[in-house]
Every structure is written in structure tokens, then in C-alpha cells.
Amino acid sequence: MTQGVRAGSLLYMTTRVSHSFSGALRTFSYWVANGTLGQPILDGIDYSFVLSEEPSALERVYAIFANVIEMDDAGNVVNAKYAERRAAQWLRSYIEPDYSAIPAFEDWEIHLYDPSAPRRSS
């Protein structure tokens, strides 16, 4: 759903996230919270202590999920399991430095984007 938002004398168009994305994010959050993220990558690894004691690790896990997830033109998520897998691979490599994610992470996957910097189209 697209809506107009007035900021000063400019009108910005906003779009709500799709039901598909909302469901993918909710499911991802459930797996993070109950300790079943990225099975079998994190199978047998209790990562809850890391996420509770190091909030930046949780921030990075969500950033990777959000950076990697893709949607089609209708807003339907097309790669939720892959986005989850990449987040799980990063978390495992954070906990076990000898673990290497394949493929190696690209900068855009792990970047923490500034939420206050709007993207402007040309």
C-alpha cells in the first residue's frame, strides 16, 4: 500500500512492507528467539548467550537477514531460507572463528545501513 507523507513542502511516497516480508521477518525472529536459527548450521550451538550479552551480534544477524532477503515485484519473499542461512553462517563464524561461510560474505551483506539516511532516486 502506497501512501503520501508530507514533510515540509515535499511529498514523499511510502510503501508498507508486504505480508510476505512481515511473515518472513516474524518467522526469522521466532527461530532466533527459540534457538533454532539456521538448522543445521547452528545445530548443537547455544548462541543465546552471545545474543543476550553482545547486542551488536544480534544487530548484525538481523542486518544480514534484511540485506540478503529479496522480494519479487509483488512483494513476495523469494529467498527467506537463504537469508536465514547467511545470518546463521555469520553467527556461527562469530562464535567459532575457525568456521568459514561459503561463499565468503560480501560487504553489502554485512553492512549496517544508517536508518536515518533516506535513499534518493535520481
Instruction: Give pLDDT, residue 16.
Output: 87
> Is residue 120 included in any domain, yes or no?
no
Question: 53: domain range?
Answer: 16-110
Alpha-helical (H) ranges within the chain are 19-34, 48-53, 55-68, 80-95, 107-110
> Is residue 55 included in any domain, yes or no?
yes
Instruction: Give pLDDT, residue 15.
Output: 81
Range of lowest pLDDT (28-32, 34-38, 116-120): 116-120
> Is residue 9 included in any domain, yes or no?
no
> Is residue 7 included in any domain, yes or no?
no
Instruction: Give pLDDT, residue 12.
Output: 66
pTM listed for this prediction: 0.84
> Is residue 121 included in any domain, yes or no?
no
Q: What is the mean pLDDT of the chain?
A: 90
- In the chain, the number of structural domains is 1
What torsion, rounded to 10 degrees, do the Cα atoms 102, 23, 18, 71 define? Answer: 20
